[in-house]
Amino acid sequence: MEPKIVQESEQTGPILEVENMTVFRSGKPILRDIDLKVFKGEFVGIVGPNGSGKSTLLLSILGLLKIQKGTVRIFNRPPASIYLFGKIGWVSQAASNLPRDIKITVQELVQLGTINTRNMLRFISKERRECVERAIQMVDLQDVRTSEVGRLSGGQRQRAVIARALASDAELIILDEPLVGIDRESRNSLLKLLDNLCHEQGKTILMVSHDLAAIRQTSHRMVFLEETIRYDGDTANFPDLSELADLRGIHQVHEHKHSHSKKPRQVEE
């Protein structure tokens, strides 16, 4: 049943479809009138300043936050539907979000990605073991398979978390700030890994980052988010700094002879 459903949705429309979405958190509007469509095989980078609602957008897409207005459909299903389990891989900011004091090996961590409601109570099967092995190979962590996650470098730890997402055979991979706390070299190889996943494995990738350069380097399409979507299009056409300032409604501070004590950013509502 399930693969058929996916194929239909692939042919008929986008993998992810957000329409007219508005999200409030603690009474304040964080996201407003978001319209976003993501198609299979795309690599979409979402950028925006701190507090612009990037994480809120991801959590709403995943169905972990209630949306006040609008609709979200993933694979043509409402978020958090049981048909979606295993189809979406979530990659958190591993360098800071993984608890450090747990003794757990890379293999054990990746294995957690294969758990779902159906097999949660069972012992690990041969197929699941193979999925784990494949995921570890994809992210090139074979050598540290049995090392503790807490002893890995930031980049390796992030790879381990990506492997956990891959272990479920997820088609849509959602990453939240995967580049935080990672040195330059690991960052490049991590971006290459994501690029591979997109082009060779046919995964659809939605990545949030405040690292504009890194996103420009890899993604096909960029979304600039600040409360609402202010740019959505090809990476090649992504606006330069002054255009971006216009989009965001930021005025040149010096031209207007404002003193430095004034807030440099003024966002028009």
Partner 1 sequence: MGIGTTLLEFVSPFMELIAPLVPGETFPYFFTMEMFQRAMLSALLVTAVAGILGTFLLVKNLALIGDGLAHVSFGGVAIGIVLGATSPLLYALFFSIAAAILIYEMQSREILTGDASIAIFLTGMLAFGLVALRLGGGGITTDIEGYLFGNLLLIDEGSLDFITIICIISIVVLLFLRNGLLATAIDPISARVQGLPVRNIGLLFSVTTAAVVVSMVQVVGALLVTALLVTPAATAKLVGTSFKSCLLWTQFFGFFSVLVGLYLSAELNTGSGSMIALVAALIFAVVAIFTTLVRSLFNPSKNL
Shortest reach from residue 266's CB to partner 1, in Å: 33
Query: Which 103-122 residues touch partner 1, going by CB under 8 A?
Result: 103-105, 107-109, 111-113, 115-117, 120-121
In angstroms, what is the minimal distance from the CB of 84 to partner 1? 8
Instruction: Specify whether the CB–CB gap between 217 and 191 falls below 8 A.
Output: yes
Q: How far is the CB of 74 from partner 1 (least distance, A)?
A: 11
- Closest separation in Å from C-beta 156 to partner 1: 16
Name the minimum Å distance from CB 112 to partner 1.
4
What amino acid occupies position 57?
L
**Residue 27 interacts with partner 1 (CB under 8 A): yes or no:** no
Cα–Cα distance measured from residue 76 to residue 83, given in angstroms and rounded to the nearest whole number: 10
Q: Which of 11, 26, 146, 259 touches partner 1 (CB under 8 A)?
A: 146
Element of type H or E holding 85 = none
Q: Is 156 in the site for partner 1 (CB under 8 A)?
A: no
Scanning 19-27, 98-106, 181-189, 192-200 for contacts with partner 1 by CB under 8 A, the matching segment is 98-106
What is the C-alpha separation between 70 and 188, in angstroms, rounded? 37
Nearer to partner 1, 44 or 170 (CB): 170
Q: Does 235 bind partner 1 (CB under 8 A)?
A: no
Helix axis angle, 184-199 to 154-167, nearest 10°: 20
Centroid of chain to Cα 170: 13
Q: Tell me the C-alpha distance between 221 and 16, whole Å.
A: 14
Q: Which residue in the set 73, 164, 187, 248 belongs to the binding site for partner 1 (CB under 8 A)?
A: 164
Q: In what order do the strands lie in the sheet with 228-234?
A: 88-91, 172-176, 204-208, 43-47, 221-226, 228-234
Tokens found for residue 165: 């997402």
Q: How far is the C-alpha of 236 from the C-alpha of 233, rounded, in Å?
A: 8
Among 82, 185, 202, 243, binds partner 1 (CB under 8 A): 82
Of the candidates 192, 212, 203, the residue with the CA atom closest to the CA atom of residue 87: 203
- Residue from 7, 78, 80, 185 touching partner 1 (CB under 8 A): that is 80
∠ Cα 90 194 104 (to 5°):
50
Residue 28 makes contact with partner 1 by CB under 8 A: no
Among 223, 202, 207, 204, CA closest to 88: 204
Q: Does 96 bind partner 1 (CB under 8 A)?
A: no
Strand partners, 21: 34
Residues in 175-234 that interact with partner 1 by CB under 8 A: none
Measured from the CB atom, is 97 or 242 closer to partner 1? 97
84 sits near partner 1 (criterion: CB under 8 A) = yes
Residue 168, interface with partner 1 (CB under 8 A)? yes
Tokens found for residue 14? 């986008």
Which residues are near partner 1 by CB under 8 A?
Answer: 59, 62, 64, 80, 82, 84-86, 88-90, 92, 97-99, 101-105, 107-109, 111-113, 115-117, 120-121, 146, 148, 161, 164-165, 168
